[in-house]
Amino acid sequence: MNQASRPFTEQTVLITGASRGIGASIAKRFASVGMNVVIHYLQSHEAANETARSCMKHGAKVLTATADLRNREQIMRLQEKLDHHNMMPDILVNNAGIAHYGVLSDVTEEQWDEIMGINLKGTFLTTQQFMKPMISQKYGRIINVSSIWGISGASCEVVYSTAKGGMNAFTKALAKELAPSGVTVNAVAPGAVDTLMMANFDSEEKAALESEIPVGRFAQPDEIASLVYFLALPESGYITGQIISPNGGWLT
């Protein structure tokens, strides 16, 4: 059966970096309709299991899997595991990423490589590996979780902004490449979201940041998850190559 004609709730979604934060909320959103959910993590084993338990409460089939997405061999082993469990993804959500704060003059080469490796190389290697079955079945959804800073840039977040800007360009180009195969590629570029990534800001800094946002608050992770879910729907098949930024009017 062609995947496009298979019920949406019987499809499988792989979310990278899904042990907590936005990734965990995305996993729970798909699980809420009973979909098959693969929760990827790097080191946060117990957090991933907690997310899995939340997903299973909805009756979803859930699998947790670890891999360093900077390593092609580990991604190949991840794919083998998913194939063994008959959970090859129809939907890939590239959410794994790390932030970095500091002036560019203080950034070391090792920090640059780590940020680019996790945010950008990991997206490249994971997408390259899992898009192949989507192309074969002439159906698939690839959704990259980017950042508002990948669109506008941010002082003291030059490396992170560069990585997310690269993800946005990757999204636009790959969307054109995969469109004839029935695979859409989009990016969600959130503004400030109330997750652990905001932990580096103190209460005064957070208040100052919120005052710049027209809606007057940070986004909740489940609000980002709802947009990711919408882009994954079969009826969203005409949306591709787009960078959509849910940011409360911060950037228009």
**Residue 41 annotated as catalytic:** no
Please calculate the CA angle 217-223-227 and round it to the nearest 5 degrees.
135
Q: What is the pLDDT of residue 200?
A: 72
3-state secondary structure of 122: helix
pTM here? Answer: 0.95
Tokens 């969307």 sit at which residue?
175
Q: What is the pLDDT of residue 1?
A: 43
pLDDT exceeding 70 applies to what percent of the chain? 98
Q: What is the pLDDT of residue 5?
A: 58
Which residues of the chain fall short of a pLDDT of 50?
A: 1-2
DSSP 72-99: HHHHHHHHHHHHHTT---SEEEE-----
Q: Which of 101, 160, 229, 238 is catalytic?
A: 160
Alpha-carbon span 246 to 248, nearest angstrom: 6
Q: What is the pLDDT of residue 4?
A: 57
Per-residue tokens: 196: 């652990």
